[in-house]
Amino acid sequence: GVAYNILGISQLALGKLNQAKLSFRRSLELSPEPEVHLALGSVYFETNQLSLAEIELDKAISLRPLMAEAFRMKGRIAMAQGNARKAAVGFERSLQINPGHIATYALIAEALKISGDSKEAQRFRELERRLTQ
């Protein structure tokens, strides 16, 4: 499984998304690792297959519940689907796990602003500003 995962990562870096998808699927057949589910979910996200991406992220989270990147990606999917409130929940969970990921503060602030909670959005923008100083 590891060889297919490495191959998939290389293909992803080269922009060969379909080949990467096949390599990650083969890797998962041999060994269902949460990082590979995350990687496959990322490929599905990049190819705008959002429901398939979410399925892979849920599998990653079921194997490793404290995977901040999977929750961040779920937030990005929700934003792409036009569900800012759901996106904010994903970003918030990601920050609970990894409060040091500065880019997530901007993501949650944007989601909150779109969903109509400008006061909370401003609070996260302020936290982001403090962290980047």
pLDDT at position 59, please?
Answer: 97
H/E stretch holding 67 reads none
pTM of whole model > 0.85? yes
Task: Say if residue 66's pLDDT is above 80.
Answer: yes
Confidence of residue 57 (pLDDT cuts 50, 70, 90): very high
Q: What is the pLDDT of residues 67-113, one digit of tens each?
A: 999 999 999 999 999 999 999 999 999 999 999 999 999 999 999 99
Cα–chain-centroid distance for residue 41? 8
- Nearby residues of 30 by Cβ (< 8 Å), 6 or more positions away: 1, 4
